[in-house]
Amino acid sequence: MRIAILSRNPRLYSTRRLVEAAKQRGHEVRVLDVLRCYMNIASHRPEMHYKGEALSGFDAVIPRIGASVSFYGTAVLRQFEMMGAFALNESVAITRARDKLRSLQLLARKGIGLPVTGFADKPDDIEDLIKMVGGAPVVIKLLEGTQGIGVVLAETETAAKSVIEAFMGLHANILVQEFIREARGSDIRCFVIGDRVVAAMKRQGREGEFRSNLHRGGSATLIRITPEERSTAVRAAQTLGLNAAGVDILRANHGPVVMEVNSSPGLEGIETATGKDIAGMTIQFMEKRLAERQGRPGATRTRGHG
């Protein structure tokens, strides 16, 4: 295969591992900075250029598009799809996953377990909003936050109200969520490829911290997940249309609840915690999908775009 990896930085662990795994399996691979790609939108022969050179002949694309470049990044990916390349995760699926409200609504519609969650922009009755999700304690999240920043635990109704008012004052979009106390500061990252959870790790926040993010000093260990957790993770990824995803699950008293589905899950934490070759499994999955696609006459293009 000729593989393009869309990544802003070839030195990142995940990018390096994917390059290594692709080469090891005999493929040609190139890392492209998504912001440096430029294109023309033409109905017959869409083109992609890079540093003055016309790119063509890529069989597959691995998008590693950071949240800050989602808009342009997904447009570049869409162009590769239009040029006939197989995308590990398609542009529409990434767009769905990046929108927290939309993802939670889609997951809810499929009956996947979720923490009770409220969304608000300018609620006139904040107390009612808090009541809607079951009352304090609640977790309040900034929609734009990542790595646990902008995620606040409000133990009392008064605290919740002040935090919501403060965020509203900053014109930030927020989400108010039932606090899953029984998770005890830990969550489970399930790495899904295709219709399987290929690896899972438990992330535990440091003492006294309810957020398990590794960036906030949390630690990761190997964990055995239940069949219900396994199927929840796979269904969550499939609902959003992702072939590769990091599905974050909390163990609630009433079963597994999905907190987030990540469309560009990092490889470092999970490969280190589990000792598995996730990069290799990713490339292997792409080989299989591409072979299936090429086996079907007239099926060299991806499904609907947009």
Binding site for ligand ADP (CB under 6 A): 115, 139, 141, 145-148, 151, 177-180, 183, 187, 210-213, 248, 250, 259-260
Shortest Cβ 208–ligand ADP spacing (Å): 13
Shortest Cβ 54–ligand ADP spacing (Å): 38
Shortest Cβ 106–ligand ADP spacing (Å): 17
Cα-based distances in Å from 38 to 12, 34, 43, 55, 119: 23, 9, 16, 10, 36
* Measured distance CA(290)–CA(2) in Å, rounded: 11
Phi/psi of residue 167, nearest 5 degrees: -65, -40
Shortest Cβ 286–ligand ADP spacing (Å): 27
115/256 with CB nearer ligand ADP: 115
Shortest Cβ 60–ligand ADP spacing (Å): 28
Instruction: Return the closest-CA partner of residue 247 out of 176, 189, 290, 185.
Output: 189
- Token pair, residue 169, equals 């004052």
* Measured distance CA(114)–CA(193) in Å, rounded: 21
Burial category of 212 from C-beta neighbours within 10 Å (exposed 0-12, middle 13-18, buried 19 and up) = buried
Burial 258-270 (b: 16+ CB within 10 A, else e): bbbbbbbbbbebb
48/259 with CB nearer ligand ADP: 259
